[in-house]
Structure 1
Amino acid sequence: MDRRNRTAGWLALVALVMVSLSFAAVPFYRWFCQVTGFGGTTAVSEVAPSEVLDQTIRIRFDASKERDMPWVFKPVQRVMEIRIGETGLAFYEATNTADHPVAGQASYNVTPDQAGGYFTKIECFCFTEQVLQPGQTVQMPVTFYVDPEIARDREAKFIPEITLSYTFHQIPLPEAEASLAPAAPKPVN
């Protein structure tokens, strides 16, 4: 009987560790991607680097939205050429075509993947949710730079172009906005 209790105890411990690891996986993966740029995840900084190189790199801007998102979403400028280390400022434009307020959150990606760890955002509309009123159009900024360390990376230094892509996803309205929104009409049978 003592052996069965010990085995049951070990199995319970293994199960507890597995459940704990499953909850830790998401924040760990997010941290790993931000640190390494894995999967095109960008870095975030509060200030631009002090070093600006003479070497330039082309930045392309891409925009998409989830299937039923009632917005028009596009980059204001499709291509920009900046010096590596220089702070860039780009704008994306969104228009709510619905007859009610719509909240959205942007997810982002950088390609090629090797550039993700070197593409650094200082400010971005993607850091917060966006709420647009019916018919409202806004221009949303992203301030960024390409880290000069890219020029010292054996593989990444040959990247001529980086594409910054955003996809907007509809999210539930924040409580303050939802209380002001008119109730959706009930279907007629």
Structure 2
Amino acid sequence: MSLSPQQKTAGWLVGVAVTMGALSFAAVPFYDWFCRVTGFGGTTAVSATGSDTVLERSVLIRFDASREAGMPWSFKPQQTEMRVKIGETGLAFYEAHNPTDRTVAGTASYNVTPDAAGGYFTKIECFCFTEQVLAPGETAIMPVTFFVDPEIVKDREGKYVREITLSYTFHETPLPENQAALAVPAQAGAVN
């Protein structure tokens, strides 16, 4: 049984469509992996411990905060900048406040500029690693512990970095199930 030219062409086009669909599906996790490995797009590194080496050269770290449209919290850094030696562990704090009369959950996305510093800006602990939940009127002081990897001075572009900006954007997220279940009866009781 041989296939006609139209059947071969149709089979080939289906194969191309399936391949393109599979590649587009794999693109998001691949891009995420690529950014984490290379620091592309200001993606930071993560470490369980601080650096073993501290250089005499220092870098100015600036802190920035914003909110996604519709996120009701106020959100700001407690310090706008700090100078740290390359390899030295730094500790900075951000403040979030929920001025609403409802519990709100949020997750912070982040990036570092310039891009050349992304792979060398290393977080040890960060509020951005987990979802944050604030009750009505609650304020949270949230730490970020970090260092700038001494390998930055060997990088072709990174060695020229003198200032780094760490930016966070908070996004409202659905409440965790256990807290959402508690919020529903409270809202239902208020309606009755």
TM-score, reference length from structure 1: 0.93
Report whether the alignment pairs 1:30 with 2:10. no
Q: SS of the residue aligned with 1:183?
A: helix
Q: SS of the residue aligned with 1:91?
A: strand
Say how many residue pairs are matched: 186
Report whether the alignment pairs 1:125 with 2:120. no
Q: Take 2:31 and 2:102, find their aligned partners in 1: how far apart are those partners?
A: 36
Paired amino acid for 1:50 = D
Q: Take 2:12 and 2:48, find their aligned partners in 1: how far apart are those partners?
A: 46
Q: Take 2:163 and 2:147, find their aligned partners in 1: how far apart are those partners?
A: 13
Shift of 1:46: 1.7
Shift of 1:120: 0.9
CA RMSD of aligned residues (A): 1.5
Partner of 1:153: 155
Partner of 1:183: 187
Paired amino acid for 1:7 = T
Q: SS of the residue aligned with 2:66?
A: strand
% identical aligned pairs: 67
Paired amino acid for 2:187 = A
Q: Take 1:77 and 1:2, find their aligned partners in 2: how far apart are those partners?
A: 71
Report whether the alignment pairs 1:83 with 2:75. no
TM-score, reference length from structure 2: 0.91
Gap regions ≥5 residues in structure 1: none
Q: Take 2:87 and 2:179, find their aligned partners in 1: how far apart are those partners?
A: 39
Q: Aligned runs of 1:22-101 on 2, under 5 Å?
A: 22-101=24-103
Please list every run of at least 4 consecutive aligned residues from structure 1 whose deviation after the TM superposition is greater than 6 angstroms: none
Residue number among 16, 21, 24 corresponding to 2:23 in the alignment:
21
Q: Take 1:139 and 1:105, find their aligned partners in 2: how far apart are those partners?
A: 15
- Shifted more, 41-50 versus 136-145: the winner is 41-50
Shift of 1:33: 0.9
- Shifted more, 36-45 versus 100-109: the winner is 36-45
